[in-house]
Amino acid sequence: MDKLIISGGHPLHGEVMISGAKNAALPLMAASLLTSEPCTISNVPNLVDVETMAELLTHLGVSIERDGDQVIVHAKKPAGEASYDIVRKMRASYYVLGPLLGRLREARISLPGGCAIGARPIDLHIKGMEKLGAEINVEGGYVNAKAARLKGAEIFLEGTKGPSVGATINVMMVAVLAKGTTRIIGAAAEPEVCNVAAFLRKMGASISGDGTHEITIRGVDKLHGAEFKCTPDRIEAGTYAVAAAITRGRLILRNAPSAHMGNVIQPLLEAGAEIEASGNHLTVSMMRRPTPLVVNTAPYPGFPTDMQAQLMAWLSLGKGTSLITENIFENRFMQAMELVRMGAQITIKGNTAVIEGTDHLSGAEVMASDLRASAALVLAGLAAKGKTTVSRIYHLDRGYERLENKLAGVGAEIKRVSAPDEE
Ligand code: EPZ
pLDDT of residue 422: 57
Question: Is residue 246 exposed (0-12), middle (13-18) or buried (19+ Cβ within 10 Å)?
Answer: buried
CA-nearest residue for atom 21, ligand 1, is 306
Q: List, in order, residues 6 or more apart from 78 with CB less than 8 Å away.
A: 33, 57, 60, 61, 62, 100, 103, 104
Residue 167 Cβ < 6 Å to ligand 1? yes
Q: What are phi and psi of 14, to 5 degrees?
A: 140, -155
pLDDT of residue 394: 93
pLDDT of residue 1: 84
Contact call for residues 323 and 316 (beta carbons, < 8 A): no
Tens digit of each residue's pLDDT (9 = 90 or more) over 41-54? 999 999 999 999 99
The model carries a pTM of: 0.97
Residue 29 Cβ < 6 Å to ligand 1? no
CA-based max dimension of the chain: 63
Judged by phi (left if over 0) then psi (alpha if -120 to 50, else beta), residue 231 lies in beta
Q: Mean pLDDT across the stretch 130-138?
A: 96
Residue 169 Cβ < 6 Å to ligand 1? no
Contact call for residues 21 and 195 (beta carbons, < 8 A): yes
Q: Mean pLDDT across the stretch 380-389?
A: 98
**Reduced to 3 states, what is the DSSP secondary structure of residue 75?**
coil
CA distances from 121 to 23, 126, 134 (A): 18, 10, 18
Q: Which atom of ligand 1 sits closest to the CA of residue 117? A: 35
Report whether pLDDT(98) > 70.
yes
Instruction: Flag the least confident range among 164-168, 242-246, 277-281, 286-290.
Output: 277-281
Instruction: Flag the least confident range among 115-124, 134-143, 338-347, 411-420.
Output: 115-124
The rounded percent of the chain whose pLDDT value lies above 70 is: 99
Residue 398 Cβ < 6 Å to ligand 1? no
Q: Which domains are assigned to the chain?
A: 2-16+233-418 (3.65.10.10), 24-229 (3.65.10.10)
Q: Rounded distance, CA 174 to CA 171, Å?
A: 5
Residue 363 Cβ < 6 Å to ligand 1? no
Q: Mean pLDDT across the stretch 351-373?
A: 97
How much distance in Å is there from the Cα of 284 to the middle of ligand 1? 28
Q: Mean pLDDT across the stretch 146-168?
A: 97
Q: Mean pLDDT in the chain?
A: 96
Q: Rounded distance, CA 152 to CA 2, Å?
A: 48
Q: Rounded distance, CA 330 to CA 343, Å?
A: 25
Report whether pLDDT(278) > 90.
no
Instruction: Flag the least confident range among 106-115, 272-281, 311-320.
Output: 106-115
Q: Mean pLDDT across the stretch 170-194?
A: 98
Q: Which helix (H) or strand (E) holds 184?
A: strand 181-185
Q: Mean pLDDT across the stretch 148-167?
A: 97
Which residues have a catalytic role annotated?
115
Query: Where do the H-state alpha helices sit in 41-121?
Result: 48-59, 84-87, 97-104
pLDDT of residue 416: 96
Q: Provide the CB-side half-sphere exposure for 108 (13 A, CA).
A: 10
Q: List, in order, residues 6 or more apart from 291 with CB less than 8 Å away.
A: 270, 271, 272, 318, 319, 320
pLDDT of residue 423: 46
Q: Mean pLDDT across the stretch 148-159?
A: 97
The rounded percent of the chain whose pLDDT value lies above 90 is: 93
Contact call for residues 240 and 250 (beta carbons, < 8 A): no
Q: Which atom of ligand 1 sits closest to the CA of residue 95? A: 15
183: closest CA among 161, 168, 200, 193?
A: 168
Report whether pLDDT(395) > 80.
yes
Report whether pLDDT(80) > 60.
yes
Tens digit of each residue's pLDDT (9 = 90 or more) over 200-214? 999 999 999 999 999
Q: Rounded distance, CA 398 to CA 1, Å?
A: 14
